[in-house]
Each structure stands twice: as C-alpha cells, then as structure tokens.
Amino acid sequence: MSTIPQGRLPVPDLAGLLAFVRVAELGSFVRAADALGLSKAAVSKQVSALEGRLGARLLHRTTRRLSLTEAGQAYLRHAQSAFAEARAAEDAVAGTGDLAQGRLRVSVPMTFGVMHVAPHVGPFLALHPQVDLDLQLDDRPTDLVMESQDLAIRLGRLEASSLVARTIAHSGVLLCASPAYLDRRGRPQRPDELGAHDCLHFSLAATGRTWELRHGEEVVRVALGARLDANSSLALKAAVLAGAGIARIPEFAIADEIRDGRMERVLPHWDMTGLDVHAVMPERRYVPAKVRAFVEFFEDRWRNSSDWTTGLTSGRLDQ
C-alpha cells in the first residue's frame, strides 16, 4: 500500500485550485465568482485558504488591480496543465464518439466570422442539436488555453506553438478601390506609383505598413504612408466603397463587390500573398466530437462555396 511522502500535501484543494485559476484567467474576483456561480466572498475565501495551505502568496491584491506573484505564475501553469489533462480525459470518454454534444467555444476573426461563419450557424446547430455554440469574434489572436476555448479559426501564417493546426481553406488577397476613386486619381500601372495614392491600411496586418506585390519573378515591397489605419477589414471595405482610396483586403470580404463592379482590382497583373484559413486546437490526444463536427462542417461549406472567390487571383503564393 502506498503512503504519502513526507513534506507533500496529501490531497489537492480542487475547489481552491479552480477558484485561483478562474481569478487569474479573468483578472477579477467578481468575474471569477460569476463564472463559478459563487459569491465574491466565497471565491476570495477559497483562494486565501489555498495560499495558506501552500504557504505562499499567489496573488498581489490592491483596490485597483490584481496580479500574479512569481509563485502564482508557476502555480497557474501547472494548474492549467492539470485542467487540460482532466478535460482531455473527459473528452476521451464522452467527447470522441459519433455524437457531438456540449458547449463549443470558438474564436473567429471579426470580418471572416460575420461574413462566413455566422450565416452558417443555423444549419450547423440544426445538424447538431446537442451542441451549444459560444462564438467569440476578435481580430486579435486569443490564447486558447487561458480563455478555455475549444477551437480558433485563424488566417494567414501561424507562429510556432504547441497548438494543433489544420488548413481548411484559402483566400486570395487583392488591392482594390472604387471605380469613382480610380477615375478621379488614375489607375496605377506599377507598384511604385502607389505612393501617389491614398492608401488605407489594416493596422493588425502581420506584415506591418508594407505591401508586397509579385509579378513573375519580380517582387516589389511598398512602404505605406497610409491616409487611414483601421483594425477592421469591414471598415476598410466601407471606406473603399465610399471612394477613400486603395486598400489591401482579403478576397473573401470583397468578392461580391468585385464581381458587380462596385470595386475594381488595382494592379491586376500583380499578385499578393494569400491567406490560408486554419482550424487551430489546443494540443490534445483526443479531439472532441463537437470540435470535429465544426471543422468538418465548415471545411465542406467553404470548399464548395464561390462566395469568396472572384476568379481574379492566380492561386497560392505563400507555399
């Protein structure tokens, strides 16, 4: 019969551990209490009891802010890992069968989510009646583990990480403007002529304030002096339609406008690096059925859809 080693705590304080993790992730005792369905006093008591039991302060508390101590940072990493393993164990038993069920938390870029996820939510939920969908729209990459998300849809190149990624679609990227703007200011014939135009910039672009264009073996990089910076492709699209200037926008966001003539492709003989669409998941041994269901459903929808294709791009340039 095994014995508890000397100097080790006998049984983990799971309630205190959960309370601490929620406080650390949400940055607030009040928000953690709401998430756990407890009072703020109860959560504070559980965290204090955990600190007393460990003999270490995990949180710095002031009236204005909350922060982790060095010990708290180390404890949080191990606690989150423990929860991830526990969740994987549950998924191994209940989540990897044929039936998709439970709450599915998905992070999606704003414009892409509004245009190409939200319109298909109804059919997806009808097909999987035991799944509840929590859709988080945000153009900034989120931390799947810290924010307890099951899946993220991400566009473009991915940074190296321990996450699992699957490429499920591709979109071209175009320089575009309204015909009225181009009639007024002229149509550039080469990338170096863009400096004389009003350029509109997506401020969250991974490439910063630079546009890279390719024509055969020739590559030209244009440094922008943007008249407008915006963190939303929808905002840039609206500005382009209003005649504000030239913008670099994913094809999936402007296919209809290009086809019906409300927008015009700028420098049509020059290509820009396109965007792969990735399904990104926390690294696990078992993928829940609800996650598989979402990925497979949308991969099929996007593969067989012409909603975001103009036929004007030459294909992938980023492989």
pLDDT at 106 over 60: yes
Segment 57-63 mean pLDDT? 83
3-state SS of 72-121 is: HHHHHHHHHHHHHHHHHHHHHHHHCCCCCCEEEEEEECHHHHHHHHHHHH
How many Cα atoms within 13 Å fall on the side-chain side of residue 299? Answer: 13
Give DSSP secondary structure letters for 28-86: -HHHHHHHHTS-HHHHHHHHHHHHHHHTS--EEE-SS-EEE-HHHHHHHHHHHHHHHHH
pLDDT at 312 over 80: no
Q: pLDDT value at position 11?
A: 61
Q: pLDDT value at position 208?
A: 82
Four-residue CA torsion sign, 285, 290, 291, 296 = positive
Contacts (Cβ under 8 Å, ≥6 apart) of 92: 285, 286
Segment 258-279 mean pLDDT? 93
Q: pLDDT value at position 316?
A: 38
pLDDT at 198 over 90: yes
CATH code of 96-168+275-303, in short, is 3.40.190.10
pLDDT at 97 over 70: no
Segment 86-101 mean pLDDT? 64
Q: pLDDT value at position 60?
A: 86
pTM above threshold 0.75: no
Q: pLDDT value at position 299?
A: 92
Q: What distances in angstroms separate CA 313 from CA 182, 255, 308, one per listed residue?
A: 20, 11, 11
What percent of the chain has a predicted confidence (pLDDT) above 90?
44
How many Cα atoms within 13 Å fall on the side-chain side of residue 315? Answer: 2
Four-residue CA torsion sign, 95, 97, 101, 106 = positive
Angle at CA of residue 15, ends 11 and 20, nearest 5°: 110
Residues forming a β-bridge with 122: none
All structural domains of the chain with their residue ranges: 14-85, 96-168+275-303, 173-265
pLDDT at 243 over 90: yes
Segment 210-225 mean pLDDT? 92
Q: pLDDT value at position 305?
A: 65
pLDDT at 174 over 90: yes
- The mean-pLDDT minimum among 122-126, 147-151, 171-175, 245-249 falls in 147-151
CATH code of 14-85, in short, is 1.10.10.10
Mean pLDDT of the chain: 84
Q: pLDDT value at position 3?
A: 43
The two domains 96-168+275-303 and 173-265 share their CATH topology (first three levels equal): yes
What percent of the chain has a predicted confidence (pLDDT) above 70?
85
Is domain 173-265 given the CATH code 3.40.190.10 in the classification?
Answer: yes
Contacts (Cβ under 8 Å, ≥6 apart) of 43: 19, 22, 23, 29, 32, 33, 36
Q: pLDDT value at position 173?
A: 93
Tens of pLDDT, residues 8-59: 555 667 788 888 888 888 888 888 888 888 888 988 898 888 888 888 898 8
Q: pLDDT value at position 283?
A: 63
Segment 287-314 mean pLDDT? 80
